[in-house]
Structure 1
Amino acid sequence: MPAFDHTSPNDLPAPLARWFAAQNWAPHPHQVQMLQATGNALLIAPTGGGKTLAGFLATLAAACRGDMGAGLHTLYVSPLKALTYDIGRNLARPVADLGLSCRIEDRTGDTSATRRARQRVDPPHVLLTTPESLALMLSYPEAPKIFGSLLRVVIDEIHALAESKRGDQLMLCLSRLRRLAPQMQVAGLSATVENPAALAQFMGGAEIVIAHPGPAPDIAMLPTTATPPWSGAGGAYAARDVMRAIADARLTLVFINTRAQAELFFQALWAVNDDNLPIGLHHGSLSREARRRVEGAMADGALRAVVATGSLDLGLDWGDVDLVIQIGAPKNIKRLVQRIGRANHRFDTPSRARIVPANRFEVLECIAALQAVEAQELDGDGRAPVGGLDVLCQHMLLLACAAPIDADALFAEVTRAGPYAGLTRADFDACLDFVATGGYALRAYDRWQRLVLREGLWHLRDPRAARAIRMNLGTIVAPELLSVRRGPRGGAPLGEIEESFAAALSPGDTFLIGGQTVRYDRLRDMIVEVTPQPAREPKIAVFNGLKMATSTELSARVLALIGDRAAWAALPCHIRDWLALQDRIACLPQPGTMTCESFQRGGRWYFALYSFAGRNANQTLGLLLTHRMERDALAPLGFVATDYATLIWGLEPVRDPAPLLDPEGLRAGLQDWLAENAMMKRSFRAVATVAGLIQRNLPGARTSGKQATFSSDILYDTLRKYDPEHVLLKITQAESMRGLADFGRIEEMLRTRAQIVHSMAPHVTPFAAPLMLEAGRIPIRGAGSARLLEDEAARMMAEAGLTLEDVGAKTQA
């Protein structure tokens, strides 16, 4: 915490003030404000600004004064298990230096059963945990004793939790903690917040403390010897340029958006690692041992680079990172700011980051992201999140495991949680009825009769059910994963792959995991046994990971950039030429307009709609438009969707797109499609799993993904037929509209861009060429794949009678 804008340490106890002086530090103003806060507080400070220490200053001060008392004093909650481990290591230092009598322990899924049991009867002074582990602790009858002495809760990276159901779960838990420990204060910590007031509301109300932002980051595009390809997302064309940047830095974090891409780029880096620099790989599908080895090597300075996904996004402080490289467009401004902050993790030193766009559309997105960072603008609608009812159902079940439920008291408690402040009593009662009986269509089945009303309180009908309820805790419904181990039974764990991917493997098939090629041998006892096979060309493990869509704000910036000819001067020449050629052949997308085009190629008609609405919305548009085209006898054959556009091909031309894009017709079509579509059933499965209708785990047994899918499909069809107003169907419908279909972005796009501009192009257009490559792409492996794609793109440009070089020459003339 070097000097920046210090204030007096007079508010600190003398031992703590001397400790600061011994480190040659002084507290920042925002740290003192957090120490002085008399109620809940939300701190927004840049990475390296001492947020975590600000959250713990009151705890350290209490320990210095001897005011810790017996029992749990401070609870720290973070989104990542790895972050709790890191914070525990960092917090141990001042505690040891000051000789404080303060026991610090973590409580996550990795904590041993023996220690977890001991913590329920003898909690430490400071407990570091995650939302899921906190919810589990609150489900035990000992919860009032464990948390009764609690004085302080520190929530790290609260913005990351607020964007998911994990945040809903945590806020419900905080509301219960306030009932058990009315004296407690909550400190929320974040570096990237677009609307502090909404986040404070999410916390249930808090004083907002905003720190000095620190120096502006040093962020730019990484110069590359080759231009980005027309399509693709891997960034392998720039591997040698990235390797040179790694060689010039001390420690580099190379972020990439998905796990499969991380594996591929890691391989691409090794192929050009001529100096044999030590490089690691880190993502959520690797084994815990593999991740810990990489984390330890980072902390020890034994690595020069780590290729990572979002698993290292948040406030981890391992090693002396001085460069961040983002491979591919970040898709989200806040995510980019968060990742930038991992470099030069100090308040007075600019973070240094470079971006490598994966394709030519992404060049525009990366430039737009850089402009947003410079303008200090973040994305997000700024509204306080509304709590999920499926999470509330799970919370009710967990609380019933601890003690009987008083419905009126619980309703009052729940509505004090920020995300549930607007919860109606009717929705609350619908959730309670489902939890107790399964609802109208299911109440005849004994397995869903879980609560019984006795003397005005709701009790667990069978106390033995508590074990299964706890085993199925959690709001993250990931694909079913199977452990991958080297060799026969008992071999070293390598990581996990999706059950659906494993089902497609035959003995002898190869795939990538943990940066190495392995051969699939057999599946035994739900364990995938493999043998290292370094010489073989691998299949690619399709990890689910995080499916990112470009944010609304970033999309709007890309559209404005395309429409602002004055801004083209700052673009790379190959992008300027590409835009100019599109403008010459068809129309350029413009803010306020809906730009689309039709052209013929190879005996098929193509219709391209440049919505810039994000991948999910464009996927939905493709489904709805092809349905309407079938109705109008336009004979669609297929479509492809990206973040920027939807391309549909068929046998007849679209000459007037206005009837296809009628908002009322699209909404009606969406309702019909959602009711019958298989994706709706997958959404229902996730909702039903969180709410407790479907159990992922049973004592002594494991439900396979196929079994769970079969069960959820039957339940979905049953509820649709006999109980269409069931609360879980309503939740599924709302979530599908918002997430799976992203229909809100479609409606917003149609509202703000009412003017439709349509071109009948003479042939394939420059903007459509990348989409055509997406449409026809097959898994070509080996060094020639990029060249084949470029050759195909060149053929498409030749059809226009112009090359990009021709356009460049004419533009300059």
Structure 2
Amino acid sequence: MPAAAVLPPRFQAWFAARGWNARPHQLAMLDKAQAGRSALLIAPTGGGKTLAGFLPSLIDLSQRSPRNTPAGVHTLYISPLKALAVDVERNLMTPIREMGLKIVAESRTGDTGESRKARQRLKPPDILLTTPEQLALFCAWEGAREYFADLACVIVDEAHAIWPSKRGDLLALHLARLQQFAPNMRRVGLSATVDDPDLVRRWLGAGGQDSVDLVLGSGGAPPVVEVLVSGGRVPWAGHTAEHAMAEVYEIIKGSKTALVFVNTRFQAEFAFQKLWELNDEGLPIALHHGSLSAEQRRKVESAMARGALRAVVCTSTLDMGIDWGDVDLVIQLAAPKGASRMVQRIGRANHRLDEPSRAIFVPASRFEMLECRAAADAILENHLDGDPERIGALDVLAQHVMGCACSEPFDLLSLYDEVRSAGPYSSLSWEDFEAVVDFVSTGGYALKTYDKFRRIVPGPDGLWRARNAQTVQRHRMNVGAIVSPATVNVRVGGGKRPVGGRKIGEAEEGYFEQLTPGDTFVFAGQVWRFNSIVGADAFVSPAPADDPKMPSWGGSKFPLSTYLASRVRTMMHDETEWTALPPDVQEWLAWQKLRSALPGEDEMLLETFPRGKRFYLVCYPFDGRLAHSTLAMLLTRRLDRLGVGPLGFVCNDYAISLWSLKPMSDLDLEALFDQDMLGDDLEAWLEESFMMKRTFKACALIAGLIERRYPGEEKSGRQVTFSTDLIYDVLRRHQPDHLLLRCAREDAASGLLDVARLGDMLARIKGRIHHVALDRVSPFAVPLMLEIGRERAPGDAAGEMILAEAEEDLIAEAMA
């Protein structure tokens, strides 16, 4: 259908003035809106997805009739990132301003000022751009039903980044709530990277995937992806890509603006520091990650928008959506871990559909070179990583039930029906729902004698409501499904009684517990001296002349995706694919085949060899650090029972190395890796492990059993940990089937332990373990042996010299 038959004249003229034609998927989204249908749009970056989502709302608002009463919010836009919500607000104002539309569009995030928030509550904008956490606050307001009564559309941007998580569970519940407030509300999802659209449609819809239509945008120009071979060689081991920094700097000099992506905050600080040391020409290079202050992040974002920066070193905070215009290159330092994530990151370069985006991968080691090559091939073939379907978490549901009670009294049966209309909770049993409500109202059987856990109460009318105003206030101060490590404010100040100075950001509390006053570290791209920690503040002072003690904090590390792991195994097995690899990596693979073996596609290679006074077992599952850590823990328990005397282990995304006092080559290796280790062995380990307490703490915070923030104060991470540890011990003794213990076990299995993936791996290798007994270390084992050295060596010049000598000795031994 031609654009003139669909777009109103004012909009036709605006497109023409910009030299554009409305794209087919933009017109298709308009058709869906006019039919009152919800839709999921999957289209490449630069294809005008955001405009496609907003276009029906802009047309509807431009044609609305005057009314006597003030209108409420017409369109609610949900972004996974605060920066993206603000950026979309800025971009949305362009068509509104240029067409002279009388439409008010405003963002509301955690960084929005209180006066603006208060005004928005009294006078809602037509289009409100916000985050899932702010929506949770909205839904816990007394007047939420009236505030959203006029809601016509909810747009969920970057849907792929939200749905497969507890954050997605909570948003799905809030969408169900909004549908009760505004029955005719449409739901719109936007994404560039979805492997299985039906899963997202089921999550987004109010009645399964059939309630959400699928709209596909035409493909754009394929990206240009290169893998950097620095100086013609690839290091045997490492994870920072420090060896390639000089070449990365030269590449930055040759680009307009480059985004240098890394996977952790530690890597961001490290890479930024190294680039500054090389920056003899004084290029404007900035740093952006989630621990920096909101003010500093906004400064970087504004400078990017003005085209004033040559490079930004960043983490996932800049993964999505933001249109920087001048960015013409994306550099990924170290391995990408997932093809979908890299498609998202590459889309930040050259934000135009018809021109290719350019990206350079910089592997930090030889195993990472295999991963980078596999990721580059997957991206060019448009093969993406997938996520399994989610079942809604019960701790999230507990938070939602409390939020509903804060907003208005609720009927148990009506709320149950509402909750089941949310995709992740469509199969929720009445028994589990009752257990959640009982938990919110009493804390559960073992805690019901404690008055503080009574948060909702039934009234004479049979409806459930919040117990009192203080309970409501405490809930609103603790909403959300993101549980980050306990943090402290990093402030400039010193002395015995430091006064709160300028805040430069936040960092994990546990990191500062490792420091003593006088230690130096890198933060926000500068060197600081740690002075003291008082309450929730860490006081620091500039130390520009000192060599820093590098920070070990880093936020979460992405796991290697199952899909990429499979491609890496295939690449190693198929020698015809080696031609795409550098000569030294090809030689490494060839020597591994000669000295030991290469694992088959569905095999697991297992090597045993002596070295010094120890005996080593090294296996290569290629299934990610989480699954490997769990497997290593369980293997050490079994080896201990067998009297082998395991001394320790290290693992990475590709392999595991265990060492012991006795040989392991004569063991029944098939029995050692039997799937039954996921039964009693796993349960026994979890009973002893601190990991369950940490997981329980996260569930308790999400469910509202423990609050971090109180009116006028905030608990430190240590106080929260102490409280949750006490409750955990009580529940384990007196109510082992407590709702939160169930949640903690499920979370540990799917998150910290990756038990499902480990189970798949053990099933895959059953009867396919290829054991090679060696007399010395193999080429593949060298990186693991070097990681053992890094774990034990001191962090000084002498330690570096020891490691360098050890590396030379190991390589010589493996290649002899």
Show the counterpart of 1:20: 15
Show the counterpart of 1:775: 788
**Superposed, which structure 2 residues align to 1:28-67 within 5 Å?**
28-37=23-32, 38=35, 39-67=37-65
Cα distance in 2 for partners of 1:273, 1:247 equals: 10
1:446–1:186 Cα change, 3 Å: same
Q: Is 1:179 matched with 2:180?
A: yes
1:577–1:768 Cα change, 3 Å: same
- The question of whether the paired residues in 2 share the 8 Å contact of 1:13 and 1:65 is answered with no
Show the counterpart of 1:153: 154
Cα distance in 2 for partners of 1:379, 1:215 equals: 20
- The question of whether the paired residues in 1 share the 8 Å contact of 2:779 and 2:815 is answered with no
Cα distance in 2 for partners of 1:626, 1:43 equals: 48
Show the counterpart of 1:709: 721
- The question of whether the paired residues in 2 share the 8 Å contact of 1:139 and 1:399 is answered with yes
TM-score normalized by structure 2?
0.95
Show the counterpart of 1:546: 556
Show the counterpart of 1:648: 658
**Superposed, which structure 2 residues align to 1:346-365 within 5 Å?**
346-365=352-371
**Of 756, 766, 770, which aligns to 2:769?**
756
Cα distance in 1 for partners of 2:475, 2:529 equals: 38
Show the counterpart of 2:807: 793
Show the counterpart of 1:806: none
- Name the SS for the 1:325 alignment partner: strand
**Superposed, which structure 2 residues align to 1:541-620 within 5 Å?**
541-620=551-630
- The question of whether the paired residues in 2 share the 8 Å contact of 1:120 and 1:142 is answered with no
- The question of whether the paired residues in 2 share the 8 Å contact of 1:555 and 1:613 is answered with yes
Show the counterpart of 2:89: 88
Cα distance in 1 for partners of 2:506, 2:325 equals: 26
The more displaced of 63-72 and 220-229 is 63-72
Q: Is 1:766 matched with 2:764?
A: no
| Deviation by residue 1:278-333 (Cα, 9 ceiling, x = unmatched) | 10110001111111111111111111000000010010112410000000111011
Aligned-CA RMSD value: 1.6
Cα distance in 2 for partners of 1:725, 1:477 equals: 23
Cα distance, 1:801 vs. partner?
A: 6.0
1:790–1:9 Cα change, 3 Å: farther
Show the counterpart of 2:6: 11
| Deviation by residue 1:449-496 (Cα, 9 ceiling, x = unmatched) | 112122321122223310001111111111111111223535332111
Cα distance, 1:227 vs. partner?
A: 2.2
Show the counterpart of 2:259: 253
**Of 287, 291, 312, which aligns to 2:293?**
287
**Of 393, 396, 419, which aligns to 2:401?**
396
- Name the SS for the 2:226 alignment partner: strand
Q: Is 1:718 matched with 2:767?
A: no
Cα distance in 1 for partners of 2:341, 2:65 equals: 39
Q: Which amino acid aligns with 2:29?
A: M
Show the counterpart of 1:113: 114
Show the counterpart of 1:506: 516
The more displaced of 648-657 and 411-420 is 648-657
**Superposed, which structure 2 residues align to 1:99-498 within 5 Å?**
99-204=100-205, 205-225=211-231, 227-381=233-387, 383-454=388-459, 455-487=461-493, 489-498=499-508
- The question of whether the paired residues in 2 share the 8 Å contact of 1:479 and 1:544 is answered with no
| Deviation by residue 1:27-64 (Cα, 9 ceiling, x = unmatched) | 10000111110311000011101010001101111233
- Name the SS for the 1:76 alignment partner: strand
- Name the SS for the 1:441 alignment partner: helix
Q: Which amino acid aligns with 2:581?
A: L
Cα distance in 2 for partners of 1:422, 1:104 equals: 37
1:380–1:289 Cα change, 3 Å: same
- The question of whether the paired residues in 1 share the 8 Å contact of 2:267 and 2:554 is answered with no
Show the counterpart of 2:697: 685
- The question of whether the paired residues in 1 share the 8 Å contact of 2:225 and 2:360 is answered with yes
Cα distance in 1 for partners of 2:569, 2:293 equals: 41
- The question of whether the paired residues in 2 share the 8 Å contact of 1:202 and 1:418 is answered with yes
In the alignment of these two chains, the number of paired residues is 796
Cα distance, 1:584 vs. partner?
A: 1.5
| Deviation by residue 1:681-728 (Cα, 9 ceiling, x = unmatched) | 100000111001111111112111111111111111111111111111
1:493–1:461 Cα change, 3 Å: closer
Q: Which amino acid aligns with 2:650?
A: V
- Name the SS for the 1:659 alignment partner: helix
1:360–1:269 Cα change, 3 Å: same
1:390–1:358 Cα change, 3 Å: same
Identity %: 47
Q: Which amino acid aligns with 1:658?
A: E
Show the counterpart of 1:809: none
Q: Which amino acid aligns with 1:58?
A: P
- The question of whether the paired residues in 1 share the 8 Å contact of 2:325 and 2:350 is answered with no
Cα distance, 1:200 vs. partner?
A: 0.6
| Deviation by residue 1:508-547 (Cα, 9 ceiling, x = unmatched) | 1111101110111222452222111111111122324122
**Of 732, 737, 742, which aligns to 2:749?**
737
Cα distance, 1:165 vs. partner?
A: 1.1
Show the counterpart of 1:535: 545
Cα distance in 2 for partners of 1:103, 1:779 equals: 59
Cα distance in 2 for partners of 1:333, 1:724 equals: 40
- The question of whether the paired residues in 2 share the 8 Å contact of 1:399 and 1:405 is answered with yes
Show the counterpart of 1:805: none
- The question of whether the paired residues in 1 share the 8 Å contact of 2:256 and 2:310 is answered with yes
Cα distance, 1:642 vs. partner?
A: 0.6
- The question of whether the paired residues in 2 share the 8 Å contact of 1:201 and 1:384 is answered with no
- The question of whether the paired residues in 2 share the 8 Å contact of 1:300 and 1:319 is answered with no
1:17–1:784 Cα change, 3 Å: farther
Q: Which amino acid aligns with 1:42?
A: L
Cα distance in 1 for partners of 2:481, 2:707 equals: 13
- Name the SS for the 2:297 alignment partner: helix
Q: Which amino acid aligns with 1:27?
A: A
Structure 2, gaps ≥5 residues long: 206-210
- The question of whether the paired residues in 1 share the 8 Å contact of 2:487 and 2:509 is answered with yes
- The question of whether the paired residues in 1 share the 8 Å contact of 2:62 and 2:103 is answered with no
Cα distance in 2 for partners of 1:128, 1:640 equals: 45
Show the counterpart of 2:208: none
Q: Which amino acid aligns with 1:746?
A: L
Cα distance, 1:798 vs. partner?
A: 2.1
Structure 1, gaps ≥5 residues long: 1-5, 803-813
- The question of whether the paired residues in 1 share the 8 Å contact of 2:325 and 2:351 is answered with no
1:48–1:193 Cα change, 3 Å: same
Cα distance, 1:782 vs. partner?
A: 7.1
Cα distance in 1 for partners of 2:241, 2:344 equals: 21
1:14–1:609 Cα change, 3 Å: same
Q: Which amino acid aligns with 1:230?
A: W
The more displaced of 760-769 and 588-597 is 588-597
Q: Which amino acid aligns with 2:173?
A: L
- The question of whether the paired residues in 1 share the 8 Å contact of 2:43 and 2:219 is answered with yes
Cα distance, 1:426 vs. partner?
A: 1.1
- Name the SS for the 1:322 alignment partner: strand
- The question of whether the paired residues in 1 share the 8 Å contact of 2:530 and 2:540 is answered with yes
TM-score normalized by structure 1?
0.96
- The question of whether the paired residues in 2 share the 8 Å contact of 1:391 and 1:475 is answered with yes
- The question of whether the paired residues in 2 share the 8 Å contact of 1:7 and 1:28 is answered with no
